[in-house]
Amino acid sequence: MTDDIYYRSPDGLNLYAKRYGPADAPLSILCMHGLTRNHKDFEPMIAALPDRYQFIAVDVRGRGLSDRDPKAENYSPAIYAGDMATLLDHLNLKRVALIGTSMGGLMSMIMMKTMPDRICGVVLNDVGPVFEKSGLDRIAAYTSNTEPKAGWDDAARSVGEVQAEIFPDYGPQQWLAFARRTYRELDDGRVALDYDPAITRTVAQVRPGLLTRIAMWKLYKDMTKVPLLLIRGETSDILSAKTAAKMIRKHPDASLITVPRIGHAPILDEPEAVEGIRDFLTKVEART
């Protein structure tokens, strides 16, 4: 069962999310995507997990079916986290688990700071308090090219060229499916990336210096209030193995899953990720 969810942000934007599963489920999970993605990013994962749960997958402002923001400065994880509070109020959800990929993981950390009583567990997908500069540079490079493609085949080829090192075992079918999750069709038959190009300003603002790292580790400390599952792509250039190990050491109830032969970030339909998330949600459900 799926439902479209439309709601308004505090500053008047029309925002979108999609519900998968029963509204009266024993556990609700809020799924928050990465910088250039949208709610469809979680469909492979949701299809592989038990259908007894309610998954709410969002289009953060500026992506997918959500309004583009005329004020580019509002493309900020702190603003996005505020939108998530509005969504939870709209759905009358008192407590949820979070699954956050990359930027969505940053949103999760902010939400643990600002609304800890509403969260019962967090899955962080390939993100932590320290961002490797090489990964940020790679993301900044590929997000700068937003020219529409002639059609879906061209979009699939483009995605394959950009993401080949991240998903080395993907073939034509996987690249086409990837493209259909990240592009939208225009009236003239061309396809375009499904986000406002202005969102890329966020990448340029991330400066992984000493003060930023201190602030981020302080923010991460609030994550220790709930169970944590950390998922890392084996070849990730955003979350290093060293940072992931430190995150586990600093958390009293955390576990780490490494997805082999995948970079930043796993799609979460990989067998290792599916098994780990299923077990984690079972544990969180038992505690709620």
Does residue 249 sit within a domain? yes
Q: What is the pLDDT of residue 204?
A: 60
Average pLDDT of the residues of the chain: 95
| CATH label of the domain that carries residue 41 | 3.40.50.1820
- Whole-prediction pTM: 0.96
* Bond from prior residue into 265 cis (ω within 30 degrees of 0): yes
Residue 270 lies in a domain: yes
**Coil, strand, or helix at residue 214?**
helix
* Closest by Cα among 153, 189, 170, 149 to 263: 170
Average pLDDT over residues 89-114: 97
129 DSSP assignment: S
pLDDT at 288 over 90: no
In this predicted structure, the answer to whether residue 211 has a pLDDT above a threshold of 80 is no
Could you list the residue range(s) of the whole structural domain that residue 21 is in?
2-133+208-287
Q: Is 220 a domain residue?
A: yes
- How far is it, in rounded angstroms, from Cα 286 to Cα 288? 6
Which helix or strand (DSSP H or E) is residue 177 part of?
helix 172-182
User: What is the total count of domains within the chain?
Assistant: 1
Residue 170 counted as domain residue = no
Q: Is residue 128 part of a domain?
A: yes
- How confident is the model over 140-192, as pLDDT tens digits? 888 878 899 999 999 999 999 999 999 999 999 999 999 999 999 999 999 99
pLDDT class of 14 with cuts at 50, 70, 90: very high
